[in-house]
Amino acid sequence: MTSAALKPGLFRPNLVRQAQAWLLLLPALIFLLAFTHLPTVSTVWNSFFSTSAGTPVDFSTENYQFLLEDEVFCQVLDNSFWYAVVTVPASMALALAMALWVNSKLSGKAALRLAYFTPTILPMISVANIWLFFYSPEIGLFNQILEWFGSDGYNWLGDPDLSLPSLMVMTIWKEAGFFMIFYLAALQAISPELYQAAEIEGASRFRMLRRITLPLLMPTTLFVLVNAILNAFKLVDHLFILTKGGPNNASNLLLYYIYENAFSFFDTAYAAALTVVLLMILVVLALLQFGVLERRVHYR
């Protein structure tokens, strides 16, 4: 009724609505521009127009050439790849298993949920400080447990073959509880009628999981996957405490290497080039996830 009344009015209502929408979006847009888009552009700019000495120069690909020569960069890239490939699926699978477990009818599930969620509440730095002592070869928890089984134990963080896997284990432990919450919420949103119907049809539990639960969880899975992959590249707090990327860069990750270059070496130009690489990786991954995976996701 109102829209019909306005139709022959003095100004076009469409324009007003558009302006209103833009005004509502404006605050968020300003922040997004100031803190995300402008820094991105200036990073790309710096990676081409400055050098290690910190002086502005004409267009130069020197920083990118150094990427190719830099052995540490290759190793860091390799580490980051394995770190993501292992921690993302492992923490997601664990999260799903835990969610299914605490969603079932069992006594004391509130306590169990809390227990699984606790790692997420703790700050990464304090967790790392605790795990530093867990991993410590002489006095650490892990080696003391291994001792009961007659093992000599390992120098977890001091052995180049073990330091990255050690970081992975801690990450999986930390991340799984967080993702469990999303899965749990999604599980509780699935209508019980579907399961009742399946039961009448005589479907097995495994079949119900495969044909009802997992497909209906797909939107959540995509969301969790995006977050897990982002975190795999974004979360490096524990490196500061546990290994500082050592020994000899065996556990160094891309974002930590960027930090080292920018703040330990004051080489902001090279750090900018590294950041562009990280950005490209994340863009490609995002395109893959939303372009390919999203089509397979079933939304209700």
Partner 1 sequence: MLRKKSLLAGVLAAGLSAFAQAKTDLTMYYPVAVGGPLTKVVDGMIEAFEKQNPDIDVTAIYAGNYNDARVKALAALKSGKPAQLSVMFSIDVHELMDLDAIVPFDEVVSSDQDRQWLNSFYPALMENGKVAGKTWGVPFQRSTIVMYYNKDMFRTAGLDPEQPPESWDELVSMGKKLTKKSGSGKVEQWGAMIPSTGYPYWMFGALTKQNGQVLMNQAGNQTYFNDPAVVDALKYWQSLGNDHQIMPKGTIEWGTLRQNFLDQKTAIMWHSTGNLTAVKKNAAFDFGVAKLPAQKELGSPTGGGNFYLFKKSSPEERKAALKLVKFMTSPEQAANWSIATGYMGVSQDAYNTSELSAYVQQFPPAAVARDQLQHATAELSTHQAGRVRKLLDDAIQATLSGQKSAEDALNSAQKQADRILKRYR
CB 115 within 8 A of CB 252: no
Cα distance between residue 223 and residue 88, in whole Å: 12
CB of 40 to partner 1, least distance (A): 20
For partner 1, the closer of residues 175 and 267 by Cβ is 267
Q: Which residues bind partner 1 (CB under 8 A)?
A: 53, 72, 132-133, 136-139, 147, 150, 152-153, 155, 157-160, 241, 243-244, 246-250, 260, 263-267
Cβ neighbour number for residue 271 with a 10 Å cutoff: 23
Provide the minimum distance between the beta carbon of 127 and partner 1 in the complex, in angstroms, as a whole number.
Answer: 15
When the beta carbons of 11 and 149 are compared against partner 1, the nearer one is 149
CB of 78 to partner 1, least distance (A): 15
Cα 208 to Cα 185: distance, rounded to the nearest angstrom = 18
Which of residues 125 and 283 has its CB atom nearest to partner 1 in the complex?
125
The Cβ-side half-sphere exposure at 40, using a 13 Å CA radius, reads: 11
Structure token pair of residue 67: 């990427």
The CB-of-241 to partner 1 minimum distance in angstroms stands at 8
Diameter over CA atoms, the chain: 89
Of 165 and 246, the one with the shorter C-beta distance to partner 1 is 246
Pick between residue 175 and residue 260 the one whose CB is nearest to partner 1. Answer: 260
Closest by CA to 51, choosing from 263, 277, 270, is 270
What Rg, from alpha-carbon coordinates, does the chain have? 25
- Tell the smallest beta-carbon distance from residue 255 to partner 1 (Å): 16
